[in-house]
Amino acid sequence: MAQTNLKVGVTGYPLTHTISPAFQQPAFAHYGISACYRAYPVQPDDLPAFVESLRAPDWLGLNVTIPHKEAVTSLIDRCTATAATIGAVNTVFKDGDALVGDNTDAHGFLTALRADGDVDPTDARVLVLGAGGAGRAVLVALAQAGAGHITLANRHPERAQRLAQSLSTVLPAATALAPWQSPALDEAARAADIIVNCTAVGMANGPAPTKSPLGPSAFRPGQLVFDLVYTPRRTPLLHHAQDHGARVLDGLPMLVYQGAAAFERWTGKPAPLKLMKSKALAALGG
C-alpha cells in the first residue's frame, strides 16, 4: 500500500447511475491512501482489453456492475468460492500478479435485508425478479440463508430456467418459475414474505424509468419489498408496494455494504461504514 496514485473504480455500461465514487473516495481518504476511485464506462466489446489493463502495478482493484458481472469471470485468473458459486463477479482484487474475482453482492444483500429490512429470510417465501448477475447473487444468498421457498421470474423465461438449472444444487427443492407479467406472477407476489427486484426496471436513466415489474395488486401488508435500484430511492415498484401496506427497502444499504466489503478486499482495512453511508446518502440528496 506504499505506492501513491493508485487506480481503483467501477466499470459497467452505461454508468450514469453510479454513486460509488461519492462514498468510496472518502473511505480511501479516511486512511490516507493515495488512490483515485472513479467510474470507467466500458462497452462490452472493450471489456477484455480493459480488464487486462488492471494488471498494471498502479491498479488496486475494480468494482463491476451491469452488464459485465458475468462476462468478467472469463477474463480474470480465478474466482473466490463465493463468486464461483454465484457465477458472477462484482469485485476484482489482486493476489500477487493474479486478478481474482469476488462477489460481495450476496453479503451486501443479506446484511441490508437483516439490518435495514429487519427480516430474517430463514424459511421465508421469496419472489426474485431478474436473472442477471444481481439475481444470481440474491438467489445464492437466500438459499444459503435457508429460505423456504423461492420463485424466480424474468422477462425472458428461458434465462430464468437456465439460471435455476445452473444453481440447482444450491437452491431449495421448493423453487419455482413464474411467467413474467402473468396472474401466476401476481399470485406468487402476494404469497411472498419478501419480494426482491433485481432488474433495472424503474431505475433513473434506465430502459424503463417510469415502469414497475409488478402491478399495484401484487402486494399485501406484512411483506417486505426490496428494490435493489437506488436511483431513485422510491421507484414505481416501491410506491405501489407502500400504497398497499407493504414495507419497502431501497438498494442504497446493499450498495454501501457490498462496497464496504470490496474496500476491505482491496486494502485489508476495516471499512469506515458510517462515513460511507453518510456520503452515499448525501450523494442522493439526503
Residues 15-73 have pLDDT tens digits of 887 899 999 999 999 999 999 999 999 999 999 999 999 999 999 999 999 899 999 99
The ranges assigned to domains in the chain are 6-103+253-283, 106-250
Q: CB–CB of 217/186 below 8 Å? A: yes
* Active-site residue, selected from the candidate residues 7, 69, 94, 279: 69
DSSP state of 273: H
Q: CA dist 13 to 105, 134, 159, 205, 271, Å?
A: 18, 15, 21, 12, 26
Residues 84, 86: Cα–Cα separation, whole Å:
5
Q: Is 69 a catalytic residue?
A: yes
Are 6-103+253-283 and 106-250 the same fold in CATH? Answer: yes
For residue 3, pLDDT beyond 60: no
Under the banding of pLDDT at 50, 70 and 90, the label for residue 4 is low
**Which superfamily does 106-250 belong to?**
NAD(P)-binding Rossmann-like Domain (3.40.50.720)
- Kindly report, residue by residue over 78-88, the tens digit of the pLDDT: 999 999 999 99
Residue 97 banded pLDDT, cuts 50, 70, 90: very high
Please, what CATH class does the domain formed by 6-103+253-283 belong to?
alpha beta
What is the rounded average pLDDT for all residues in the chain? 95
Express each pLDDT in 133-163 by its tens digit.
899 999 999 999 999 999 999 999 999 999 9
